[in-house]
């Protein structure tokens, strides 16, 4: 009797599940975020799992004069298919693995300093008209929401390119993403960093039509040192008029607290380095003999600027990382007292900054927040 064994379905399911997803965490259904307004309730998410390997980078950062822009030459990623076999009455079904084409990426200068650059990631609007698809007259695509991303690195290093896989992942969700560099503390003291990210955000809003972005639906995400800059954007002045919301991963929201912790005998090497970085950031060493420095200390603390006009915030820390949740509880409490939703969430382990997304529950939580704030 002729027997036919079909094994392709299981193989296809395995291939599709194994498609590389940029960003650092496996895709999962976004859970409903807890209501804002709780600074003391701690949400704990499940242990991490190993994420899939990211796709290779096909973009390059061009250089040019201020105000210039050069598109990247990112080719598409062709699909690959398993070969058919037909050997001695055994048949295997064909499985096709599809990798999404990377979004368009262009580097822009939002200022004259070499570090005042941002990378824009977006998927251009379809060129074919709806009429060509038999759906009547051509309709303009609705402007998409935007996400400004700010890197970490002790305010002494780091680069916007570190967010490229996360940016590509968000473009698949319908966002345009803008990863910005800013002047580092070694060459410019506080508040130059805040000035830069404000300028980057203003540049995106002025040129929003270029990427079909709604300038009134922009959220900011920051990591570690960049987390401070993100919360400053959401709290400095009328933050809610500037951004719809803030996500901060391991933010150093209170630099003076980091300065104190770094002097303790039990301080880790990372905490000691952060203490030194705070001195470089401020351009001064806090002390009773340096009254001028305290003005900078207060200005660099995001909680100092908390008010009723601020943007809602989601603040995340690892339970045992070197930037503890106490860096965010003061800010969240001040925001809650002003009537602004702010939640401090902890993730089990010592993961810091973008590594928090190694936990499979973190990215869906972030995505849920972004979508809720940009409706």
Q: What is the pLDDT along the chain (375 residues), one digit of tens a residue?
A: 444 433 444 433 333 333 333 333 333 333 344 433 444 334 444 444 434 443 333 333 333 334 445 444 333 333 343 444 443 333 344 555 556 689 999 999 999 999 999 999 999 877 544 444 545 434 568 999 999 999 999 999 999 999 999 999 999 999 999 999 999 999 999 999 999 999 999 999 999 999 999 999 999 999 999 999 999 999 999 899 999 999 999 999 999 999 999 999 999 999 999 999 999 999 999 988 888 899 999 999 999 999 999 999 999 999 999 999 999 999 999 999 999 999 999 999 999 999 999 999 999 999 999 999 999
DSSP state of 132: G
In the chain, how many H helices and how many E strands?
Answer: 10, 14
Radius of gyration of the chain (CA): 23
pTM to 2 decimal places: 0.73
With a CB cutoff of 8 Å and minimum separation 6, the contacts of 245 are 219, 220, 234, 311, 312, 313, 314, 369, 370, 373, 374
The residues facing 346 across adjacent strands are 44, 317
Distance (Å, whole) CA 277 – CA 141: 45
Rounded Cα gap, residues 91 and 7, in angstroms: 8
Q: Report long-range pairs for 227-231 (Cβ below 8 Å, ≥24 apart).
A: 227/150, 227/152, 227/251, 227/252, 227/253, 227/315, 227/353, 228/252, 228/253, 228/255, 228/300, 228/302, 229/150, 229/182, 229/193, 229/194, 229/197, 230/150, 230/197, 231/302, 231/313, 231/315, 231/331
pLDDT of residue 289: 82
DSSP SS3 for 193:
helix
Residue pair 168/103 in contact (Cβ under 8 Å)? The answer is yes
Q: Which tokens sit at 70?
A: 């050069």
For 281-323, the three-class secondary structure string (H helix, E strand, C coil) is: HHCCCCCCCCHHHHHHHHHHCHHHHCCCCCCCEEEEEECCCCC
CA distance 252 to 323: 7
- Is 321 within 8 Å of 350 (Cβ atoms)? yes
Where do the H-state alpha helices sit in the chain?
8-17, 164-171, 192-206, 225-235, 239-242, 255-261, 269-282, 291-300, 326-337, 362-373
Residue 291 has a pLDDT of: 86
CB atoms within 10 A of CB 229: 32
Closest CA to 350 of 283, 257, 281, 250: 250
Q: Residue 287: what pLDDT?
A: 86
Spacing of C-alpha 120 from chain mean position: 13
What are the residue boundaries of the structural domains of the chain, listed by start? Answer: 23-69+104-124+141-254+301-373
Which H or E run contains 217? Answer: strand 213-223
Backbone angles phi, psi at 278, to 5 degrees: -65, -40
Distance CA 99, CA 156 (A): 36
Closest Cα partner for 150 from 82, 223, 79, 199? 223
The CATH-assigned architecture of domain 23-69+104-124+141-254+301-373 is 3-Layer(aba) Sandwich (3.40)
CA angle 41, 47, 51 (to 5 degrees): 125
């Amino acid at each position: 009797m002729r027997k036919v064994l079909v094994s392709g379905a299981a193989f296809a399911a395995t291939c599709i599940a194994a498609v590389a997803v940029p960003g650092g965490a496996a895709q999962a259904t976004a859970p409903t975020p807890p209501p804002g307004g709780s600074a003391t309730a701690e949400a704990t998410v499940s242990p991490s799992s190993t994420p899939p390997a990211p796709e290779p980078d096909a973009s390059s950062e061009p250089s040019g004069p201020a105000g210039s822009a050069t598109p990247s030459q990112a080719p598409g990623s062709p699909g690959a298919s398993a070969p058919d076999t037909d050997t001695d009455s055994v048949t295997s079904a064909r499985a096709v693995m599809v990798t999404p084409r990377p979004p368009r990426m262009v580097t822009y200068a939002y200022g004259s300093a070499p570090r005042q650059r941002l990378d824009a990631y977006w998927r251009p609007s379809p060129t074919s008209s709806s009429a060509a698809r038999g759906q009547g007259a051509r309709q303009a695509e609705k402007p998409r929401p935007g996400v400004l991303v700010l890197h970490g690195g002790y305010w002494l290093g780091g680069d916007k390119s570190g967010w490229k896989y996360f940016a590509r992942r968000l473009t698949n969700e319908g966002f345009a993403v803008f990863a910005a560099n800013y002047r580092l503390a070694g060459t410019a003291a506080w508040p130059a960093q805040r000035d830069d990210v404000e300028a980057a955000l203003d540049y995106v809003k002025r040129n929003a039509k270029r990427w079909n972005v709604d300038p009134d639906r922009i959220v900011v995400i920051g990591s570690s040192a960049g987390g401070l800059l993100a919360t400053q954007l959401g709290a400095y002045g009328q933050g809610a008029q500037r951004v719809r919301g803030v996500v901060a991963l391991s933010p150093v929201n209170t630099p003076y607290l980091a300065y104190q912790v770094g002097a303790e005998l039990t301080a880790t090497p990372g905490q000691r380095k952060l203490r030194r970085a705070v001195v470089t950031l401020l351009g001064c060493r806090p002390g009773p003999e340096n009254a001028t420095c305290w003005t900078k200390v207060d200005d660099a603390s995001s909680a100092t600027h908390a008010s009723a006009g601020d943007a809602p915030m989601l603040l995340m820390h690892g339970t045992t990382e070197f930037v503890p949740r106490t860096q965010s509880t003061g800010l969240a409490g001040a925001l809650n007292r002003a009537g602004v939703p702010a939640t401090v969430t902890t993730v089990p382990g010592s993961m810091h900054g973008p590594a928090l997304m190694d936990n499979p529950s973190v990215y869906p939580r972030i995505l849920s927040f972004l979508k809720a704030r940009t409706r």
